[in-house]
Amino acid sequence: MYAQTVGGLDTTFNSVGRVDDVSGKYQSAYAMAIQPDGKIIVGGRNDISASVCHFIMKRYKIDGKLDSIFGTDGVVETTMHGSEDVINSIALQSDGKIVVAGTSWSDITAYDIAIARYNTNGTLDNTFGNNGIKLIDIRGTDDKINSALVIQPDGKIIAAGFTHNDISYDFMLLRLSVNGSLDTSFGTDGFAITDVADSSSDAIRGIVLQPDGKIVAVGSSITSSNVAFIAARYLSTGVLDSSFGVSGLVIGVNTDETTEDSYSVLIQPDGKIISVGTQQRNPGNWRSAQLIRYNTDGTYDTDFGKNGVVVIENIEGYDEIYSSVLQPDGKIVIAGNTRNNHPTLPSRDFLLMRLNIDGSLDSDFGNAGKIITDFGFNKDDFGYAIARQNDGKILAAGYVGNLYSNSGIGIARYNTELNTSIKESFESIGMTIYPNPANDKITVVNQKQTVAGNSIISIYNIHGQLILKQPMQLEKTDIDISKLTSGCYILKMNDNKTLKVTQFMKE
């Protein structure tokens, strides 16, 4: 049925399924976004010397070649404070502008928050902040933005990470207005700061926006007796949501043998929350992928894994997971790196895993649910970011080569069965959709009238969030999509007996 292996490298991407931009110095990608036209943007750091690095973005065309009309030959480099400038997250606005967030080492020996906005050609957007750049120092000590950045439907920007309180670190979210100024209607003067426990060190590493505007944040909290996954939910005003967990927080409890850190969070169409990260077992420093699924009230979902928790152990003993995406069929793809078993030079390789809805590994994906990619340098290949294309293919990005020397940005693209199977499953029962792509309206035609007239049609965005729902007519159903933003959408038909899925593009 497939020309290439499900989960295998996609050889239409740079001919070999991967890009390794080894530059002779240290470059790394920590964040990635895919434009509606399929172009791929990665962001991270470019080391100029042992003590200086700058923001770097690269844009690639669909075939894996650098996009020469972006920046200078596909590359954009930006100096913030100028010492240690690192992009940790990227988000795309509906108008195509690119927002990046991360950290910059200031002249007063502390990290500041660094946010920038770029036009679609890679130039800084001078309508944002100070000539396209916003630098924020909250308390005069360390402030960092991790891989946690979202754009609200109204264009406001939410970023999250941590801030130092002179003793330890606290959860921190901020919201900017469209022009880059702090939105003082959010939290206190634009900041929502949460001290999870007295003297704890707390960090947000991932956020996601619910359809109702609430913000779910995940990360970790370190105390003298515990290092645990944390999930928090905030109202759109920046106040903790008391209907979630205990006063807006869910704190994991571990033994002395395990610690946990969550790096990514997903929202299912039914509102359930998936926190994705790494569990570390002591002694021995063994690390494994760990996922927790919460019900909408913050309780653990016992239908997922074992009492709501999935731990995927590797015989090599060292897996780190940093990012995740949710497929329209409910399957979960997670990405990071794993230590290989080279007899004399053990090193890291890219790691992808796909899980079924119940948390079990998907045996149809790669090798028993796992894919390991060695870029061939006999050195470390660290995967950090993951993204899903409109056609269902998966991209992973990070760095490849020697740590901090002779390394570069690495990107790999993988096949999934979604690209072909969802179209076949939809058309096999005589269902068609036109026009595709479309501007204002799509029509779903029930050619064979084999589907009950009381079926429900649901449309989801590529993040799995429900956008609209309406009954299906017996012969054909017109659906108004004029208010949808441009991009790829998933259409599902459910008659309580079967579920059929297809895709369409909104221009």
pLDDT of residue 421: 42
> Has residue 502 been placed in a domain?
yes
Task: Tell me, yes or no, whether 324 and 367 share the same domain.
Answer: yes
**pLDDT for the residue 283:** 59
426 phi and psi, to 5 degrees?
A: -75, -45
The pLDDT value recorded for residue 4 is 47
Domain that holds residue 364: 268-416
Question: Closest by alpha carbon to 151, among 33, 63, 260, 256?
Answer: 33
Give 183's DSSP letter.
Answer: -
Q: Do 467 and 440 sit in the same domain of this protein?
A: yes
In a domain, 136, yes or no: no
Q: Are 400 and 459 part of one and the same domain?
A: no
Return the closest-CA partner of residue 336 out of 288, 390, 375: 288
pLDDT tens for each residue of 37-76: 999 999 999 988 878 999 999 999 999 999 999 999 999 9
* Residues 285 and 412 grouped into a single domain: yes
Whether 337 is in a domain gets the answer yes
Domain stop point among 392, 416, 440: 416
Q: Would you state the pLDDT for residue 403?
A: 62
Residue 460: the pLDDT is 81
pTM for this predicted structure: 0.81
429 in the same domain as 392: no
Structure tokens at 192: 């929502």
Quote the Cα angle for 332-208-92, to 5°.
Answer: 100
pLDDT at residue 97, rounded to an integer: 98
Name the domain count of the chain.
2
Q: What is the pLDDT of residues 283-326, one digit of tens each?
A: 566 889 999 999 999 999 999 999 999 999 875 568 999 999 99
Q: Do 464 and 336 share a domain, yes or no?
A: no
Residues 478 and 377 in one domain: no
* CA-CA-CA-CA dihedral for 311, 315, 320, 326, to nearest 10: -50
pLDDT recorded at residue 3: 40
Sites in the chain below the pLDDT cut of 50: 1-4, 418-424
